[in-house]
């Protein structure tokens, strides 16, 4: 299968995502410049981490108007898997493919550390190869990861099982201490109502080989591959 | 014409930066400052025939870009007598 990794000016995890897809998983991967109006026939799209357009104004606020985003929206509307990692998640929120918004971390600090993340849902393209309740050790690196949504939106997210990842302790307890940024309901990642668009603050692409401290992110990339293979079978 | 746009977090949204500034002011000896909300301020130069039109444009760009309606609200002031009344 073929991954498209979107490159905004200021993206800095684009090469990590490309490396994970191509060199760790052995899949095809292409970079797509944010001004390109085509996704190059990709089966899945990754919006990578970084600081698109310098994060001026708000994180993701300028990136949502990059020409490629119209294509990404059309791809998502057609059911294609779209994954937003960290800054990519923030772009998905700004463009409205996922509900809510990010506030500054409650610590006011840029949090750069490994955290534990519990997989809540396994029927998304990013978690198909995971077990429900599986705890992943993944790095985070963000200043604005404090997820916010109005109470009724949060209730709807929970009702629709759209919370895909939650910050948790090593043994999977969802506690306030395990919440690194103050996110509502310990939310670390979400999916769209149709479940094909997934955003998360942790960086699975930086945790695909034991040499970098954790290979727990690999299951998420494998999920995308499995999901695309499934889509093809159905088609 | 100049429009000023003030973007602030909605009252229901926690403002960790404002809270920290308030804490610092208390440390500085200003307990009478009971709350701080931090926001953003924009000055827009707009080619418009009337203050109403400038306000309409400022409001449109605030909805589209300057503010995120999920967490922020905004207030607009239009000053048409400034800069020699242009």
pLDDT digit string (tens) for B65-80? 999 999 999 999 998 6
If you compute the radius of gyration of chain B from its CA atoms, what whole number of angstroms results?
16
Residue A234: the pLDDT is 67
CA angle B10, B16, B21 (to 5 degrees): 105
Q: Does B22 touch chain A (CB under 8 A)?
A: no
C-alpha closest to that of A141 among A168, A112, A118, A121: A112
Q: What pLDDT sits at residue B86? A: 39
A94 close to B (CB below 8 A): yes
Question: A97 at the B interface (CB within 8 A)?
Answer: no
Q: What is the pLDDT averaged over residues B26-44?
A: 96
What's the pLDDT score for residue A232? Answer: 77
**A175 phi, psi to nearest 5 deg:** -125, 165
Tell me whether B17 touches chain A (CB under 8 Å). yes
A105-133 pLDDT, tens digit per residue, is 999 999 999 999 999 999 999 999 999 99
3-state secondary structure of A137: strand
Q: What is the mean pLDDT of residues A155-167?
A: 98
Task: Please check whether residue A203 is in contact with residue A217, taking contact to mean a CB–CB distance below 8 angstroms.
Answer: yes
| A2 strand-pairing partners | A28
Residue in chain B closest to A65 (alpha carbons) equals: B65
Answer whether B65 sits within 8 Å of A94, measured CB to CB: no
Check CB contact of A207 with chain B, cutoff 8 Å.
no
Residue A49 and residue A203 in contact, taking contact as beta carbons nearer than 8 Å: yes
Question: What is the chain B residue with the closest CA to A56?
Answer: B66
Q: Are A3 and A27 in contact (CB under 8 A)?
A: yes
Is A71 in the active site? no
Whether residue A7 contacts residue A14, with contact meaning beta carbons closer than 8 Å, is answered with yes
Q: Which residues of A touch B16 (CB under 8 A)?
A: 103-108, 146, 182
Question: For residue A59, what pLDDT is reported?
Answer: 95
Residues A56 and A68: their CA atoms lie apart, in Å, by 19
Distance CA A186, CA A105 (A): 12
Spatial contact of B6 and B39, defined as CB atoms under 8 Å apart: yes
DSSP A133: T
Contact A101 B66 (CB under 8 A): no
Residue % of chain A over a pLDDT of 70: 99
**pLDDT reading at B38 higher than 90:** yes
Note whether B68 contacts A150, CB cutoff 8 Å: no
Phi, psi dihedral angles at A180 (to 5 degrees) = -80, -15
Position B30 pLDDT exceeds 80: yes
ipTM field: 0.82
Question: Average per-residue pLDDT in chain A?
Answer: 96
Give the phi and the psi of residue A223 in degrees, each rounded to 5: -60, -45
Beta strands in chain B (DSSP E): 2-9, 39-45, 72-79
- A120-142 as b/e, with b when 16 or more CB fall inside 10 Å? bbbebbbbbbbeeebbbbbbbbb
Interface check for B41 against chain A (CB to CB < 8 A): the answer is no
Task: Give the pLDDT score at B79.
Answer: 85
The nearest alpha carbon in chain B to A183 belongs to B14
* Active-site residue, selected from the candidate residues A34, A53, A142, A203: A203
A203 is catalytic: yes
Mutate to test the interface with A, among B20, B68, B72 (most CBs of A within 10 A): B68
* CB spacing of B68 vs A101 below 8 angstroms: yes
pLDDT at B84: 43
Average pLDDT of span A166-180: 98
pLDDT of A235 higher than 80: no
CA nearest neighbour of A72 among A40, A101, A29: A40
Share of chain A above pLDDT 90, in %: 96
User: pLDDT digits over B1-27, tens only?
Assistant: 999 999 999 998 989 889 999 999 999
**Residues A199-214: what's their mean pLDDT?**
96
């Amino acid at each position: 299968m073929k991954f498209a990794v979107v490159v905004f000016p200021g993206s800095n995890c684009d090469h990590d995502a490309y490396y994970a897809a191509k060199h760790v998983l052995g899949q095809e991967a292409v970079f797509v410049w944010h001004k390109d109006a085509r996704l190059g026939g990709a089966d899945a799209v990754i919006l990578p981490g970084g600081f698109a357009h310098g994060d001026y104004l708000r994180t993701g606020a300028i990136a949502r108007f990059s020409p490629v985003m119209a294509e990404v929206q059309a791809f998502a509307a057609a059911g294609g898997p779209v994954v937003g990692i960290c800054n990519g998640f923030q772009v998905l929120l700004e463009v409205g493919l996922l509900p809510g918004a990010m506030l500054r971390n409650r610590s006011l600090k840029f949090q750069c550390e490994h955290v534990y993340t519990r997989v809540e849902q396994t029927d998304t393209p990013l978690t198909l190869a995971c077990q429900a309740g599986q705890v992943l050790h993944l790095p985070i690196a963000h200043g604005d990861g404090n997820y916010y949504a109005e109470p009724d939106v949060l209730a709807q997210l929970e009702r629709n099982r759209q919370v895909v990842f939650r910050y948790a302790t090593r043994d999977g307890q969802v506690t306030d201490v395990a919440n690194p940024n103050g996110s509502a309901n310990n939310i670390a990642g979400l999916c769209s109502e149709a479940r094909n668009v997934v955003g998360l603050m942790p960086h699975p692409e930086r945790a695909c080989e034991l040499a970098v401290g954790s290979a727990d992110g690999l299951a998420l990339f494998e999920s995308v591959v499995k999901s695309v293979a499934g889509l093809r079978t159905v088609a | 014409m100049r429009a000023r746009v003030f973007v602030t977090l909605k009252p229901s949204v926690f403002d960790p930066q404002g809270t920290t500034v308030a804490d610092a002011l208390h440390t500085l000896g200003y307990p009478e400052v009971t709350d701080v909300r931090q926001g953003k301020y924009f000055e827009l130069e707009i080619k418009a025939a009337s203050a109403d039109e400038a306000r309409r444009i400022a409001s449109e760009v605030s909805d589209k870009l300057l503010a995120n309606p999920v967490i922020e609200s905004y207030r607009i002031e239009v000053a048409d007598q400034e800069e020699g009344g242009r």
